[in-house]
Amino acid sequence: MPRDSIERILVLNPDRQCEEISQLQGQKVLRSLDDTLIPLIELRDVLKIDHCEAETISEDLSIVVIRGSSGQFGLIVDGIHDTEETVIKPMSNYLNRSGFLLAATFQGSGQPGLILDLENIEKSFKISGEVSDHNKAIDMQLSCVEGADASEFLFFELNNGKKYSLPLCFVYRLENIDRRDIEFSGELPVVRYRDSLMALISLDEKMGFDSPGADSESSRVIVIKHGERYFGLEVEDILDVKRSSAKIDDSVRDRVGILGNFIINDEVIVILDVWELLSEEIERLAPKKDSGKSSIETMRSKIGTILYAEDVDFYRDYVRKGLEKSGFNVIAVESGKKALERAQFSDADEYSLLLTDIRMPDLDGYGLAEGIRKIERFHSLPIIALTAHTDETEIKKGEDFGFSGYIEKLNVESVIERIDEILEIGRDKAQSVSA
């Protein structure tokens, strides 16, 4: 199925199936973390494939949550394989007797693959607007909290039974690792992953909790990619993905590795700082030469100041600290209006780039960009939008206003890479090394 239509993927063990799947007027529904009800459809029923034809199926239940035109719905499938870019081929009506296939393709293995027509499935199974209207109402409430952008978070449990989360932008993949495949490099557990070795890090041990041990046959792993290296974060269970704009409180943190906390359904959810937790492993497994690191940071400090507009204190401080730690000079202000005022009374060489949130009171990111462009000396100033909303409509609108890119605001590593690219930091060094 087209990846753009996928909202999230869930794999529920038998216990979670009992907790999260219910019957409502004869229809299976999935209850997500905020009690949103999502109708479920068996893909085998859609394609009229007898359930007894199935090969050995895991007790775990795989659900693909689809973003439909009238709301979300879930497809229950036998299993999830992988993502792949491919060329699609038109399909004749003779082969598409069910009417639920969009096209065909050939996979990397040479085997044919069928692409589902998700829109037709949604229409034919009459996914009603009642549940989806409820979803929209909840999403509207979430998006209005504190007037902030909503960001997507992955929710999971550790061995202490508490819920934790991390920004979804850091997640490369979710995997179920067979413990028999785990090997060791010295004392470090590793697994062969995508033609390389992936280090496995227990989040329980990192957070100072008791480790669950190796009683189960498999391990739930959140895969994080840093450069060309993969890191696997072992957790007790993966729960859900949800967009939330609840206020993040970073005033209470009792240990290293915590970004902050927010409250959902009267429950405190801890947000983990991925890069802080992985800093030791990154330094050990992907070391950088001190001279090169110092050189890049020196170049960043000499290119002028970055002006950053963000109305939410947590995001503003988090991004600013990340940029300053990497060598940039940053002036961060709490509104688009204040950023524009600073630009109006600044010299042409004072700012090298503008970072801006989109949704801000008084003057939003588009208004700020328009105002900056009217200042002749900043007419060509590079502008990057930091936001959680990166749909095609907003990206096109940003291009019209001269934005150089849209980046998830919590993904500071991607922000730094894009700034280096725009301002050509390190390019001369890279060219000299290749020469």
CATH number at residue 211: 2.40.50.180
Give the domain extent around 195: 151-282
Cα maximum dimension of the chain = 74
- Judged against a pLDDT cut of 50, whether residue 238 lies above it is answered with yes
The per-residue pLDDT for range 287-313, each reduced to its tens digit, is 555 544 557 888 888 888 999 999 888
- % of the chain surpassing 70 pLDDT: 83
What's the first-to-final CA gap in the chain, in angstroms? 44
Q: Which of 342, 345, 347, 322 is nearest to 331 (CA)?
A: 342
Residues 6 or more apart whose CB falls under 8 angstroms from that of 207 comprise 158, 255, 257, 272
- Judged against a pLDDT cut of 80, whether residue 55 lies above it is answered with no
Give yes or no for a contact between 7 and 65, defined as CB atoms under 8 angstroms apart. Answer: yes
Is 143 part of any domain?
no
In sequence order, the β-bridge partners of residue 68 are 71
Question: Domain end: 282, 299, 318, which one?
Answer: 282
Residue bearing the bigger pLDDT, 256 or 157: 157
- Judged against a pLDDT cut of 90, whether residue 3 lies above it is answered with no
Average pLDDT over residues 157-181: 87
In sequence order, the β-bridge partners of residue 221 are 175, 234
CA 164, CA 187: separation in Å to the nearest integer? Answer: 27
Is 135 part of any domain?
no
- 276 with 156, same domain: the answer is yes
- 269 with 319, same domain: the answer is no
Confidence of residue 344 (pLDDT cuts 50, 70, 90): very high
Task: Tell me which residue has tokens 């794999």.
Answer: 11
Is 136 part of any domain?
no
Residues 6 or more apart whose CB falls under 8 angstroms from that of 109 comprise none
Which run of H or of E encompasses 433? Answer: helix 427-434
- 342 with 426, same domain: the answer is yes
Burial class (CB in 10 A: 0-12, 13-18, 19+), 227: exposed
Give yes or no for a contact between 354 and 381, defined as CB atoms under 8 angstroms apart. Answer: yes
- 241 with 321, same domain: the answer is no
Average pLDDT over residues 5-10: 84
pLDDT for 231: 92
The per-residue pLDDT for range 104-127, each reduced to its tens digit, is 887 666 778 888 988 888 888 776
- 225 with 201, same domain: the answer is yes
* Overall domain count for the chain: 3
- 163 with 238, same domain: the answer is yes
What pTM value is reported for the model? 0.61
- Judged against a pLDDT cut of 60, whether residue 345 lies above it is answered with yes
- 172 with 269, same domain: the answer is yes
- % of the chain surpassing 90 pLDDT: 21
pLDDT for 132: 40
- Judged against a pLDDT cut of 70, whether residue 403 lies above it is answered with yes
- 19 with 70, same domain: the answer is yes
Question: Domain end: 129, 164, 193, which one?
Answer: 129
- 220 with 355, same domain: the answer is no
- 252 with 293, same domain: the answer is no
Burial class (CB in 10 A: 0-12, 13-18, 19+), 315: buried
Is 203 part of any domain?
yes
- 180 with 199, same domain: the answer is yes
- 351 with 422, same domain: the answer is yes
Is 204 part of any domain?
yes
Mean pLDDT over all residues of the chain? 80
